[in-house]
Structure 1
Amino acid sequence: MRLTFLQKTLRGLIGVAALAFVWLLLWADYRADQADEQEPAFRAAFELTDHTGVVRTQKDYAGRWMLAFFGFANWSDVCSTTLAEVAAVMDGPAEDAAQVQPLFTTIDPKHDTPSALADFMPSFEAGIVGLTGTPDHFNRTADSFHIFIERVQEAAAPDGYTMGHSSQLFLFDPEDGYLKAWSYGTPGEEIRDDLRGRAA
């Protein structure tokens, strides 16, 4: 039986549609692969002295998730609240905590020496490492993490100034790649649940 022109046209359109569908599936797979291989916006990079006097870099924490926060020891509001939330994040099963390294980097290295941080950090427990360094080392770290810092004159503060700064908590993957940031005030339980979902 000879096919009519309409039948031939319909078969042709069905063939074209099938090819287009297959192409779309292949393109979706390609885009997914590209997304998986996409480089992070930036990577953690620092060379600073911890609160025990040991020089540390991001390589010391390779293979673990890093929670990084910037602040200074003599501010009892935002910094202490965030560090308390980080401690809540770490207050979980030991096997979960072992996969995460929380880091507190001072933005006021003039006052927050290793010995000053050694007095400050233990009050939060949870294995938080305090980091400080020379102004040059700190400035390079701040540039690497793309954080905002501002020195603010305040007569009642030590040496007549305080510091304004970015208050988010950064998350880096086990290969030092930036993943996300939580805003100030995010509950520790929410952060812990998010981490568990990523590390699973």
Structure 2
Amino acid sequence: MPRRSILLFAGACIAIAVALAIITVVVVSGRAPTSDGAEVTSTGQPLVGGDFKLVNQDGRPVDQTMLNGKWSLVFFGFTYCPEFCPTTLAELGAVQQRLGDKADNLQIVFVSIDPARDTPQALKDYLSSDGFPKGTIGLTGTPEQVATAAKAYRAFYQKVGEGEGYTMNHSLTVYLMGPDGKFRTAVADGIGPDKTTRIIEQAMARG
């Protein structure tokens, strides 16, 4: 085979390999950038959300039907969380203000992954802090109940350390659920209240 033909053939093989690599990355990641730079999980038939049985900050039993009839922002954390949880709650408080009247159709649900310390009263005291969203619903339960809820939402958490000073590692995603109780999209950590508000308003417009 002439040298020129060999070089052209080799170049074509390299181009095909690069293209396949790019396609593989896109398929594996399952994410696409939005126009404002945020990342939104692809929809389709996402396996996020499902049955759970917990108690709220008033000690009343609740289940997944509490999500029906309103838009819901659901995230998992704990009251001893040093940074992410209070920061996220403060940002959601800002989102609540930006939404104006639309906030009347949105509930914020904080699910504790530390049931040993987060009793209903502890959640009630914590969520009454200034700057946190008004009307936030705190949920807790037995370790088994919490594990079931976290599994339904694909939320990760893990106890770190021993004794009274232990902490909890956990995933940072906030889940936007529709009035039918089904998953709509994920809100990434750290995108700020303006982008979060736009994501919610866009989802509300789509229904």
TM-score range, shorter chain: 0.7 to 0.9
Letter of the 2:193 partner, please give it: G
Question: Quick one: which of 159, 163, 181 aligns to 2:164?
Answer: 159
> How much has 1:55 moved relative to structure 2?
1.3
> How much has 1:93 moved relative to structure 2?
5.0
**Paired residues of 1:168 and 1:183 also in contact (CA < 8 A):** yes
1:130 maps to 2:134: no
**Paired residues of 2:99 and 2:197 also in contact (CA < 8 A):** no
Question: Quick one: which of 174, 181, 186 aligns to 2:191?
Answer: 186
Q: Structure 1 runs of 4+ off > 4 angstroms? A: none
TM-score by length of 2: 0.72
Q: Who is 2:25 aligned against?
A: none
Distance in 2 separating the partners of 1:93 and 1:170: 17
Compared with structure 1, are the counterparts of its residues 139 and 181 closer, same or farther at alpha carbon in structure 2 (3 Å cutoff)?
Answer: same
TM-score by length of 1: 0.74
Letter of the 1:150 partner, please give it: Q
1:145 maps to 2:156: no
> How much has 1:60 moved relative to structure 2?
2.0
Distance in 2 separating the partners of 1:65 and 1:40: 17
Taking only the aligned residue pairs, the percentage that are identical comes to 35
Measured against aligned partners, the alpha-carbon deviations of 1:93-132 in whole angstroms (never above 9, x if no partner) come to 5530111111000110000000111110011142111110
Residue 169 of structure 2 aligns to a residue whose secondary structure is strand
| Count of matched residue pairs | 160
**Paired residues of 2:176 and 2:185 also in contact (CA < 8 A):** yes
Q: Who is 1:174 aligned against?
A: 179
Letter of the 1:130 partner, please give it: G
Question: Gaps spanning 5+ residues in structure 2: where?
Answer: 1-43
Distance in 2 separating the partners of 1:136 and 1:115: 20
Distance in 2 separating the partners of 1:126 and 1:192: 16
Q: How does 1:52-63 map to 2 (within 5 A)?
A: 52-63=58-69
Question: Gaps spanning 5+ residues in structure 1: where?
Answer: 1-37
Measured against aligned partners, the alpha-carbon deviations of 1:128-173 in whole angstroms (never above 9, x if no partner) come to 111100111111101111111111116xxx6131100101111111
Query: Max radius of gyration: which structure?
Result: 1
